[in-house]
Amino acid sequence: MADNTLILFAHPALEKSMANRALVEGVSDLDNVRVHDLYEMYPDFHIDVEAEQALLSDHDRIVWHHPFYWYSTPAILKEWFDQVLQFGWAYGDGGNALSGKIAKSVVTTGGAADAYTPEGYNRYSMQEFLRPIEQTASLCGMVYDSPLVFHQALNWTDDDRQKAIDAYRAWLLEPR
């Protein structure tokens, strides 16, 4: 049986998204998976820190799912990190609430995979771009799993979309 998974989803224009909307809809029916849409929950960016910390405490795996925006996360996810992962709770003296939990990034890009290489258009790999998230997980004592990156999401065919959903579901169904 898969662990209890919280997907922290951040997309500022979900109504325009075909790829991320399909991915979220494609996994939302799984047992032990909760999709938590940060933009829907906090359109004013006033994050309920205690509620978010309680959600994190109740889950074994944490997924940060978002499109890749300007080489980073959408703004609300950065705000979520800043507000929720507090010293003394998530890290630092007495801050071990997330210790041992599995963390993973699930990211969509508009560019091709070869654009994210030293020789490519973006000059760096996705793993390099995601290092701040990996380090955040590490600081919090979490086990950071390899990111699941879906490239060229803007150009997906129906078949591409289904393959991405299947890959996402397969990872979520893997026992830990």
Which pLDDT tens digit goes with each residue over 28-60? 999 999 999 999 999 999 999 999 999 999 999
Say whether pLDDT at 176 is over 80.
no
Q: Please enumerate in sequence order all residues whose Cβ is within 8 A of that of 142, keeping only pairs 6 or more positions apart, or say none.
A: 62, 98, 99, 100, 101, 102, 103
Say whether pLDDT at 1 is over 60.
no
Share of the chain above pLDDT 70, in %: 98
Which whole-number Å values give the CA distances from 64 to 36, 80, 117, 119, 157, in the listed order? 10, 11, 22, 27, 24
Looking at residue 57, its pLDDT comes to: 97
Share of the chain above pLDDT 90, in %: 93
Residues 15-19: contacts with CB under 8 Å, at least 24 apart: 17/67, 18/153, 18/156, 18/161, 19/67, 19/108, 19/150, 19/153, 19/154, 19/156, 19/161, 19/164
- For residue 9, what are the β-bridge partners? 37, 65
What DSSP string runs through 9-55?
Answer: E--TTGGG-SHHHHHHHHHTTSTTEEEEEHHHH-TT----HHHHHHH
Q: Please enumerate in sequence order all residues whose Cβ is within 8 A of that of 165, keeping only pairs 6 or more positions apart, or say none.
A: 22, 23, 26, 27
Helix, strand or coil, per DSSP, at residue 151: coil
Looking at residue 92, its pLDDT comes to: 97
* Mean pLDDT over the full length of the chain: 95
Over residues 138-175, the pLDDT tens digits come to: 999 999 999 999 999 999 999 999 999 999 999 999 87
Model confidence at 2, pLDDT cuts 50, 70, 90, reads very low
Say whether pLDDT at 127 is over 90.
yes
Pair 92, 140: CB distance under 8 Å: no
Looking at residue 27, its pLDDT comes to: 97
- For residue 33, what are the β-bridge partners? 5
